[in-house]
Amino acid sequence: MSIRSSFSVLWWNPFLGKNSYIEGRICKYSTAAANEEPIKAPLSVTDTQLLINGQFQDAVSGKTFPTLDPRTGDVIAHVAEGDAEDINRAVSAARKAFDEGPWPKMTAYERSRIIFRFADLVEKHANEIAALETWDSGKPYEQSANIEVPMFVRVFRYYAGWADKVHGLTIPADGSLHVQTLHEPIGVAGQIIPWNFPLLMYAWKVGPALACGNTVVLKTAEQTPLSALYVSRLFHEAGLPPGVLNVVSGFGPTAGSALCSHMDVDKLAFTGSTDTGKVVLELAARSNLKPVTLELGGKSPFIVCEDADVDKAVELAHFALFFNQGQCCCAGSRTYVHERVYDEFVEKAKARAMKRSVGDPFKEGIEQGPQVDSDQFEKILKYIRSGIESGATLEAGGERFGTKGYYIKPTVFSNVKEDMLIAKDEIFGPVQTILKFKDLDDVVRRANATRYGLAAGVFTQNLDTANTLTRALRAGTVWINCYDTFDAAIPFGGYKMSGHGREKGVYSLRNYLQVKAVVTQLKNPAWL
């Protein structure tokens, strides 16, 4: 059975408009401008302090740390370095705001109005926010402005709409009883966000937590603290009461550990590596056994079947891996290609990678900016060397791009085997590994032979093949003839060691609510 007509669109982001299909986005630019002077960022940094109890303030220690421009390694700003004492202050403010403040006692409609006003303010300041996100993280400005800031707004509006629709049930029970359930906010939520999508991860966590009536202590990634501080100021301009949202910039072993271990934090949410997720879970268990949701690493398979339109499959697989400089937890980082089309696919994937535009992310038309920092840069180059040494064929890239900043050439390996590190480990960079498979049983077995289970992609024109793989692949999301297609309503999360729980959609609300059963004895009820 053919499903060509059902799945002819490769990828569409609703924030880029109806003509934004990636099959029409073949790169027109070269990598000739490797060493041009960086474009001056079109804004100045104003928010560098911790946000505690509605006020920007220095860390108790007075310490700061530099956040760097990935294009050059130069300092953008010095940001307050929070530690355990600052976490204590932030948690105390959040606890007081929850126990005594107006936020959980407001009507849900009033809370939703504040969240809607915040979304409007973000939209008003969209250009500055997008520029700040690009400056701090290195992602292309066009990506920040056209995809991530609009998605941020959409997620908050989605959860603003949910605020007054959270309710329990009335339950029939045996006997003369009236039974109801209450869905109550869980209390103080500790949240830790990563550096690869600072704005979106802020939205995915803060949005549902506040919509349910909780208060929040958010720890930003030390590599990318700026956008969270900026938008949190706008949240207070929208009318958010003091103490409801507290933001602490700092490092994992100090601020992050203190937040996870805090006895007055009622719930944790973490996005980051699987190894760090284990530490978060352990600290939560050793303290007050607080519940934890985890969105962790991935090594997602992208499967190109023998009936695929190879040109379209190449473009989609390229996008699935190289989007956001490859720094995406659900990147399609194991490209499995059927043996009948393997050689053609490899040649075209190589050509596409060599045409990818790399350069200053503020420059129009740039697809790939620098990696986030020197640690990530060196880690990726180490994996590339490992791939070469283990016998994979380097088809493209394989080295740094230019002489300044943390740029890496789009890299493609063919003849990759499962026992190679580049096929097993999460590289988190612009390195595509292409593996050959024979049939569906073969690819399912190999695709599932990983500790991860975050996402998977399937490219086929056959409905039966799509249905078989959808159910066989052990992953939290399976994209059929599309990839990285996100929506505020679509849940996201992993199987196995890719995490616990789901973010986005109605499923995320469950992370921030407790269910209370209320049972009342009835006297001489008229009916049961």
Q: Among all residues, which ones are annotated catalytic?
A: 295
Rounded Cα distance between 51 and 59, Å, is 10
The amino acid at 332: G
Rounded Cα distance between 194 and 225, Å, is 10
- Cβ neighbourhood burial of 114 (10 Å; 0-12, 13-18, 19+): buried
The amino acid at 348: K
C-beta separation of 492 from 486 below 8 A: yes
Extended strands (E) in 250-360:
267-271, 292-295, 301-304, 334-338
Three-state DSSP string of 457-482: EEECCEHHHHHHHHHHCCCCEEEECC
Rounded Cα distance between 249 and 409, Å, is 31
Pairing of β 75-80 and β 64-68:
antiparallel
Handedness of CA 237, 240, 243, 246 (dihedral sign): negative
**Can you give the C-alpha Rg of the chain in angstroms?**
24
Helix (H, G, I), strand (E, B) or coil at 301: strand
Which string of b and e fits 150-168 if b means at least 16 CB within 10 Å? bbbbbbbbbbbebbeebee
Name the region of 402 (left: φ>0; alpha: ψ -120 to 50; beta: rest).
left
CB-based contacts of 457, cutoff 8 Å, min separation 6: 300, 301, 302, 303, 316, 317, 320, 332, 478, 479, 480, 482, 483
Secondary element (H or E) of residue 77: strand 75-80
C-beta separation of 156 from 118 below 8 A: yes
Rounded Cα distance between 516 and 494, Å, is 28
Rounded Cα distance between 390 and 413, Å, is 11
Q: At what angle do helices 126-137 and 108-124 cross, to 10 degrees?
A: 70
C-beta separation of 73 from 256 below 8 A: no
C-beta separation of 317 from 335 below 8 A: yes
